[in-house]
Structure 1
Amino acid sequence: MPFSHDMVCSLAAVADLVNSAPETGGLDSLTGAGELREYVRRHELSGVGEVNGADLAEVRALRATFLEIFAEPDAASAVARLNVLLERTRITARLTEHDGYPLHVHYFAKGAPLAEHLAAELGVALAHLLVEGEWERLRTCAAPDCERVFFDESRNRSRVYCDSRTCGNRMHVAAYRARRRA
């Protein structure tokens, strides 16, 4: 199934937010308002005002909720947890055209705090993935020493590593060396 540009961007943003947590095997990369501003800039989140320290605490709590959603063992459990998250947001559908992309829908309430904005926009992207029966595209890296999550947007659902240049390359080199030793 082809995914819209905005859906791919939103799913990448939610994976990036989850991967900023130390529970995914690295350091906490969301420790200050500056890192949060960089996250907003990197993902080109529209409709976001000034980012401050209060936003940081709320977004970190939201990050924990998204981590729980990713960790759900099946789609039905993810649906239940995602519904709880979405019930806490004011969602306004807004048609928009920007950056050369055709007309599409953004989901968030104008003037909402950053965490609520992210919960709405990223939560709706996850909801669409569930509705389309594509929940299995949300994955954890197959490398044994990596806990990062990612969205598999490949046509044949074959991606297994969070990054082919790091984890994928490392695992392929290890397999090659093991074959050479055998």
Structure 2
Amino acid sequence: MLFTDDTDAALQAAVALVNSTDEPGDPLGSLEDLSAFLTAWSYTGRHDAGAEELASLRRLRPALRELLLAERDEAAEIVNHMLARARALPQLQRHDQWDWHLHAVEPDRPLDERVIVETAMAMVDVIRANEMTRLDRCAADDCDDVVLDLSRNRSRRYCSTTCGNREAVAAYRARQKA
């Protein structure tokens, strides 16, 4: 295991949020989608379930994308800024299915603040382990999504099987044409 379970989960949730889109079919297009997102990624604490909460979470996409794709030193600066702005105070917590792990803001703080802090705390582990290469852009020509590679052999290049399959088919057709 490269990172702790809570770090893996926070990174995966951040990548899912960043890779969601404002286009039709947005996985965060409705309040029901927001509830499903929070359940899927095990976010606990305050959930207002209102349009402003959904909008505030969607507004996080560019900042999280910048953090996830930053170089190590820049990522450290971004993390420090995010944690200071949220007045984060890391503490060990245990709840639900999770054993001892870190929370750095109270569960009654707004959702967007909790997402920022949880992502920043996960990135602390990535930065300290010098594993920034685990985060990259999708290798597909027509995709700019973020890839989180938690594989042992560091082989993940595509954000999804859809992009990987599309690139494999394109390469096959190019070989057949030649």
Shorter-chain TM-score category? 0.7 to 0.9
Please, which runs of 5 or more residues in structure 2 have no aligned partner? none
138, 155, 180: which is aligned to 2:176? 180
CA contact (8 A) 1:142 1:160 kept: yes
**Residue 18 of structure 1: aligned partner:** 18
**Residue 112 of structure 2: aligned partner:** 115
**Residue 148 of structure 1: aligned partner:** 145
Deviations 1:107-147 (CA, angstroms, capped at 9, x unpaired) = 33231111111111111101211111011111111000111
CA RMSD of aligned residues (A): 2.2
User: Equivalent residues in 2 for 1:77-88 (5 A)?
Assistant: 77-88=74-85
Question: Sequence identity of aligned pairs in percent?
Answer: 35
Letter in 1 for 2:4: S
1:83–1:94: structure 2 CA closer, same or farther, 3 Å change rule?
A: same
1:106–1:55: structure 2 CA closer, same or farther, 3 Å change rule?
A: same
CA contact (8 A) 1:152 1:158 kept: yes
94, 102, 105: which is aligned to 1:105? 102
Cα displacement (A) at 1:66: 0.8
Cα displacement (A) at 1:87: 1.3
What CA distance in whole angstroms lies between the structure 2 residues aligned with 1:110 and 1:94? 13
Quick check: 112-121 or 171-180, which moved more?
171-180
**Residue 96 of structure 1: aligned partner:** 94
Cα displacement (A) at 1:97: 4.7
What CA distance in whole angstroms lies between the structure 1 residues aligned with 2:5 and 2:42? 12
Structure 1 SS opposite 2:12: helix
What CA distance in whole angstroms lies between the structure 2 residues aligned with 1:19 and 1:57? 16
**Residue 33 of structure 1: aligned partner:** 31
**Residue 59 of structure 1: aligned partner:** 57
1:90–1:141: structure 2 CA closer, same or farther, 3 Å change rule?
A: same
Structure 2 SS opposite 1:45: coil
Equivalent pairs, count: 177
Cα displacement (A) at 1:51: 2.3
Please, which runs of 5 or more residues in structure 1 have no aligned partner? none
**Residue 129 of structure 2: aligned partner:** 132
1:21–1:80: structure 2 CA closer, same or farther, 3 Å change rule?
A: farther
Cα displacement (A) at 1:150: 2.2
